[in-house]
Structure 1
Amino acid sequence: MGLDDQQAECDPQREDPQSCGEGVAHARGDVWWDVIYAGQEPSRMRANMVRFAPCARTDWHSHTLGQTLHIVSGICLVQARGGAIIEARAGDTIYTPAGEEHWHGAALDRFMTHLAMGEGRGDGSPETV
């Protein structure tokens, strides 16, 4: 099955989202996360280990200071608004620039885990919008 076929079956804007893992907002399908690091001043670093069930993904979103995803296992699909779907595998690292709308999630037929890393502004504003 090609990436276009997976996109059709795992549409990030579908109207019938599955349940989300507890505490995960703005995701479709089953998603779980653990905080690995939440920096204390002066650090603004945040790192979360995020696990996606097959076909689960985030909603469209952006990050005020960008985001780095390091794929730990499985196949990650990433798409910037208006761009092609990118397939990343274990060991790959993807960077999304500040303010770039995108989604990311698991391929149709397998689980995926990534380490999500980013920074907050330090002023209490949300890092994800």
Structure 2
Amino acid sequence: MKYSVKISLLFLVIVMSSCNMEKSAKDMMSQSASVFPKGEKIDSPNFAGTVWLQMMGANDSTLHARFGNVTFEPKARTNWHSHPGGQVLFITEGTGYYQVKGQPARLLSKGDVVEIPRDVVHWHGAAADSEFAHIAISLNSDEGGAVWIGPVTDEEYELAIK
């Protein structure tokens, strides 16, 4: 009987240790999951909520593209805007939305890619319950930067994500 209790206790200790190691590994992975730096907090009227930006690459590149890692807190988002040269978004973390003016919002998650044609008015940002990050590439940047139109109101946001 004592031997059986010892074996049961040993089994329980091994299972609990295994669970703790799995939790520790998950914690370490989530802390280091982002490949790109979060960057600096943006203080701009062109965004609602808390957003960070880490620009990447040289500003004087002959690639005619600007790109950066953008991270949004839950509910944070861009204003309505367009890009004369188009834009591509590579979703790297969390859940968010992309909406073209006059169309339903598209739910986005890690691994999604959004190709935004030239001069299409849109916004993108985080879901209400998730941080959200993407690499944003502004194409043909020699044709001009983003054209900012105006805020996505709380009402527009809530309606879009329903």
TM-score bucket (shorter structure): 0.7 to 0.9
What code does the residue aligned with 1:113 have?
Answer: A
Q: What is the CA–CA distance in structure 2 between the aligned matches of 1:102 and 1:38, rounded to whole Å?
A: 26
Match of 2:47 among 19, 27, 50: 27
Q: What is the CA–CA distance in structure 2 between the aligned matches of 1:61 and 1:38, rounded to whole Å?
A: 23
Report the equivalent of 1:69.
89
Q: Give how far 1:50 is off.
A: 0.2
Match of 2:144 among 121, 126, 129: 126
Ranges of 4+ aligned residues in structure 1 off by more than 4 Å: none
Q: Is the 8 A contact 1:72 1:113 kept in 2?
A: yes
Two-structure CA RMSD over aligned residues (Å)? 1.6
TM-score, normalised to structure 1's length?
Answer: 0.76
Q: What is the CA–CA distance in structure 2 between the aligned matches of 1:48 and 1:58, rounded to whole Å?
A: 14
Identify the structure with bigger relative contact order (alpha carbons < 8 Å, sequence gap 6+): 1
Q: What is the CA–CA distance in structure 2 between the aligned matches of 1:36 and 1:27, rounded to whole Å?
A: 20
Percent identity between the two aligned chains: 33
Q: What is the CA–CA distance in structure 1 between the aligned matches of 2:117 and 2:97, rounded to whole Å?
A: 17
Q: What is the CA–CA distance in structure 2 between the aligned matches of 1:27 and 1:38, rounded to whole Å?
A: 24
Could you tell which deviates more after superposition, 65-74 or 111-120? 111-120
Query: Which segments of 5 or more consecutive residues in structure 1 lack a partner in the other structure?
Result: 1-20
SS at the partner of 2:80?
coil
Q: Is the 8 A contact 1:38 1:44 kept in 2?
A: no
Report the equivalent of 1:80.
100
For this pair of structures, how many residues does the alignment match? 107
Q: What is the CA–CA distance in structure 2 between the aligned matches of 1:77 and 1:22, rounded to whole Å?
A: 19
Query: Which segments of 5 or more consecutive residues in structure 2 lack a partner in the other structure?
Result: 1-40, 148-162
SS at the partner of 2:129?
coil
Q: Is the 8 A contact 1:71 1:90 kept in 2?
A: yes
Change (3 A) 1:60 1:121: same
Q: Is the 8 A contact 1:37 1:45 kept in 2?
A: no
Structure in which a larger fraction of residues adopt strand: 1
Q: Is the 8 A contact 1:80 1:102 kept in 2?
A: yes
SS at the partner of 1:34?
strand
Match of 2:71 among 40, 46, 51: 51
TM-score, normalised to structure 2's length?
Answer: 0.61
Q: Give how far 1:119 is off.
A: 2.5
SS at the partner of 2:75?
coil
Q: Check if 1:36 corresponds to 2:68.
A: no
SS at the partner of 2:57?
strand
